[in-house]
A = this chain, B = another copy of it.
């Protein structure tokens, strides 16, 4: 069974349906962030997963990566237009979880 993305629902889930992707995108909604800062906003994420998640999101065109040629290195991440189009979904997921967990 491949990643056939039979239906739109799975198409979306294959883009953001991992442990850290939604969280990462969510934090970028508030504005562009340096790599280190972004990572610190996600407690519990391992170094490896942070890099990998960020790479995946970049490859899928959901976030953009900007490298500044300075010392020490500086990297900033931002949402692309495509990534920003997920905003309402991300906020819905957040809101639902908040309300439901209080019940």
Contact = CB atoms under 8 A, between A and B. Distances in A.
Interface of A is mostly: helix
Indicate how many identical chains form the complex: 2
A71 interface: no
Given A6-B44, A44-B1, A101-B5, A12 B89 contact: no
Interface residues of A, number: 34
A66 interface: no
Interface string A74-103: 000000001001101110111111101100
Given A13-B19, A19-B13, A44-B1, A8 B89 contact: no
A89 B88 CA distance: 9
B101 A93 contact: no
